[in-house]
Chain A
């Protein structure tokens, strides 16, 4: 069913767009980072594996961006000419890899892939049919991403040196992974759509936007996602914390398991605030587009159904 056939109220549309941006931006930006490992990974095999994963994540980002396109955006609006402040990926995706730090790539992938797996489960029964339709294809690929990360994690943890690298990565990345479960600050729409269509025009004004928590409630109430971020976050902690501990790794989660705001970085991405590294990454991936003076995106294949 095409999205355009469904009548959306402005609040529904805002909720839907917010969830889709969150999903798409996480995948796209992480894939951008992963590709930096090309020809630099420790072995040919790990290089190919991460390249494959990056390619999958770009494909997943495409699936979600397509749904935003059905709502009236085009690829330039969503990527190449988009205001970098309107990206909503968690900062976990955007952080640069410390030079040659393979343990960072593994921990990051592990934390992200477990979270993504849980989020996808909660989209299986989405009330928005186009979302539910796309989940299965993504899940088939995500399974081996998690397995790949777990395999590496297990092996790096077998000696002290590997363990030290993993611990440094966990210390650095864990707070940014918690950002995955922070409600997303909505982006005003209409303003950047080419054909800012009527229904949403009231949300072109930033001041009139509902806050992130309200939008999150709408996402769950409308059934676009069937579990709240709070629930997903608890499930994630129940899974990653014991696993990391079983490898002798400490997490910043206190003994009572209570996640407080202090554990999450101020610039967490979901709230529209990013690290300085994001500006550099954005400039990098839009560089060629700008250098060639492009005004639209080149498609080499027809859009998938």
Chain B
């Protein structure tokens, strides 16, 4: 019998699938999961779930979303260079100059 193993690293984290173990029952599954997934890594908790209890729907059965190209929504094309914005640079310099003048005036 195969048990899927989910590991939570810190309290509040999601349990994340990390592998599976073969075990005849829940108790042995928990022990094997601890040995394989909890002994050498920081672990807060483990879940073991009989593989056949996992419900699955796959792409053959339903149309999942996320297939239209919406990469324009991800701000990947912005550049941090300000070379093209001369007036922004000029304005920044003006403000810095004004700040410096004011400080001199305080002396």
Bind each other: yes
List A residues at the B interface (Cβ < 8 Å): 43-45, 48-49, 52, 144, 147-148, 151, 155
* B49 contacts the other chain (CB 8 A): no
Segment at the interface with A among B32-40, B53-61, B76-84, B89-97 = B32-40
Contact (Cβ within 8 A) A151 B35: no
Segment at the interface with A among B6-14, B17-25, B65-73, B99-107 = B17-25
How many inter-chain contacts with C-beta < 8 Å in the A-B complex? 27
* B87 contacts the other chain (CB 8 A): no
Contact (Cβ within 8 A) A52 B39: yes
Contact (Cβ within 8 A) B31 A151: yes
- Contact A144:B34 (CB < 8 A) given known A43-B22, A45-B21, A155-B28: yes
Look across to chain A and name the residue whose beta carbon is closest to the beta carbon of B36: A48
* B27 contacts the other chain (CB 8 A): yes
| Residues from chain B with Cβ under 8 Å of A43 in the complex | 22
Contact (Cβ within 8 A) B27 A151: yes
| Residues from chain A with Cβ under 8 Å of B35 in the complex | 45, 48-49, 52, 144
Look across to chain A and name the residue whose beta carbon is closest to the beta carbon of B40: A52
| Residues from chain A with Cβ under 8 Å of B39 in the complex | 52
Closest beta carbon of chain B to A155's beta carbon, Å:
7
B interface SS class: helix
12 further contact pairs, Cβ within 8 A, besides A49-B32, A52-B39: A45-B21, A45-B23, A45-B28, A45-B36, A48-B32, A49-B31, A144-B34, A144-B35, A148-B31, A151-B28, A155-B24, A155-B28
Look across to chain B and name the residue whose beta carbon is closest to the beta carbon of A152: B28
| Residues from chain A with Cβ under 8 Å of B34 in the complex | 144
Look across to chain A and name the residue whose beta carbon is closest to the beta carbon of B39: A52
Closest beta carbon of chain B to A278's beta carbon, Å:
30
| Residues from chain B with Cβ under 8 Å of A48 in the complex | 32, 35-36
Jot down 26 A-B pairs with beta carbons below 8 A, ordered by A.
A43-B22, A44-B22, A45-B21, A45-B22, A45-B23, A45-B28, A45-B32, A45-B35, A45-B36, A48-B35, A48-B36, A49-B31, A49-B32, A49-B35, A52-B35, A52-B39, A144-B31, A144-B34, A144-B35, A147-B31, A148-B31, A151-B27, A151-B28, A151-B31, A155-B24, A155-B28
Nearest 8 pairs between A and B by C-beta?
A45-B32, A49-B35, A45-B21, A52-B35, A45-B22, A43-B22, A48-B36, A151-B28
| Residues from chain A with Cβ under 8 Å of B24 in the complex | 155
Look across to chain B and name the residue whose beta carbon is closest to the beta carbon of A43: B22
